[in-house]
Chains A and B, each alone.
Chain A
């Protein structure tokens, strides 16, 4: 019975838990409760993935209304994979949160943090699970509105304009998506993704479909911060509370990439997107430009959270590059990098949270010599950094391996060379921090710092450890990603 209702429980549990946090009111109670809820959600997503691996795609009709009329939740391998890592990172980050929030958000506001956090998680999971386009828009707005609120909780007053800028850009993006969905609805008379896919393929050469496609791609690109539409991201990540940055950096943009995958591959189909519209000719160069520009800008940042934010823009470039190949290998690389980058960036921002807690600053000058004072935190950071560069044994290597082999497969060797060269840029910005942290005399702040508390170190190391585990043992991540890619491309 419960097994049958898993798809809806996956959304319902965090959604109902959010207002309960308001009722609980006390910070400790609300935090304990949301930790329990997040781990339950994670457990459910594991159960869902196992079930999908066993029986194939699951459809769940909401309220018993059959598919094209009612809203349907559809869990295929890709959705289950996204659900798994979003809820997993949600659980790890909320476990890490109480100690970090203690220094960043006043006690009487912490239950509100828990509420918005759970709402944001609900929205992100909802996007991944729904099979209805309008439902997708609503979940997108649930997650976006709560993330604006989360970002504005930042300690510095600069968090406020950052949140406002994100709100304006995010709303424009979401409204573009809404226009696209409206035009698609006008053409096909349905909001169900599977149903729409059948009808849109039946009618060819529709001009409105081109317009809808254009609106959707721009809107989604804004949401996933694809270069040059990334302007909202660096400030939002730099000034948000450490916990919020770790959660959003690991999940929010990734889920937007999932929306792109759904629209391009499931709804419009590969032929329309890549042959009629030549989406790859737009996404590929933008992705490469994003990788180089954002990595270069990252090298010159003094605020390390901001530096990692620019690096996130570059990493989105790698993911989109994988998608633009539109081959099984390329798509596998893209999807696997979604997962890998979520772990790397989540772990890195959590390590930055430890540093912010002990140093009260994330400026590179204050981080001088911190490696000797906080060896466990800084070694986690360094290991995550190696993942960003793409060193063998870490997950970053696995993703780059697939991206480069996908480029060579279709003979785009210059692209393969560019991907390798871009790793050098990552090496520069990671090394810069490692050098300062390990080989310089401690700064005033660093001299007084102690190692971060275990309550924060353990979750950080769980994520960073996972980057090594999944770098060595690739059968789960690559295996699932490859099968998801085959499903998306309709290959046997």
Chain B
């Protein structure tokens, strides 16, 4: 019981990670792939934040009467990782726009078909 409830954050991380990963692998629609990628990355953000959490701790702001702080460094790291994630998403969406312009579709198998047609 304790392993399930006491570590529920980690279970959510694993669930999100697998969900995102599955979407990336199984979906042929490029936008859905990007969404899956985002969920996958978000799970890692949650993992880092969970690592830094101290039970009963507050935000790391210096104030009288507060003795226990959460570890601020993982949150700072994740801020950087979120920026990287945003950049990746922007890059992916930009590519999808260009793919749509030149292929007229964003389905993976249709893109492949059109390339084969061109060659034939």
Contacts and interface: CB of A to CB of B under 8 A. Distances in A.
Nearest to B80: A138
B44 A148 contact: no
Interface string B20-60: 01001000001001000100110010011001000000000
Contact of A171 (B41, B96, B98): B41
A185 B95 contact: no
B117 to A, nearest CB: 13
Interface string A165-198: 0011001100100110010011000000000000
B47 A182 contact: yes
Given A157-B102, A160-B102, A178-B44, A167 B51 contact: no
Contacts of B37: 168, 171-172
B63 to A, nearest CB: 23
B66 interface: no
B95 A152 contact: yes
Contacts of A164: 30, 92, 95-96, 99
Interface residues of B, number: 29
Contacts of B12: none
B84 interface: yes
Given A152-B98, A179-B44, A182-B47, A167 B115 contact: no
A387 B110 CA distance: 40
B66 to A, nearest CB: 22
Contact of B80 (A134, A157, A158, A161): A134
Contact of A185 (B41, B44, B74): B74
A73 B103 CA distance: 45
A149 B90 CA distance: 11
Contacts of A182: 44, 47-48, 51, 74
A141 interface: yes
Interface of B: 21, 24, 30, 33, 37, 40-41, 44, 47-48, 51, 74, 77, 80-81, 84, 87-88, 91-92, 95-96, 98-99, 102-103, 108, 111, 115
Interface of A: 134, 137-138, 141, 145, 148-149, 152, 157-158, 160-161, 163-164, 167-168, 171-172, 175, 178-179, 182, 185-186
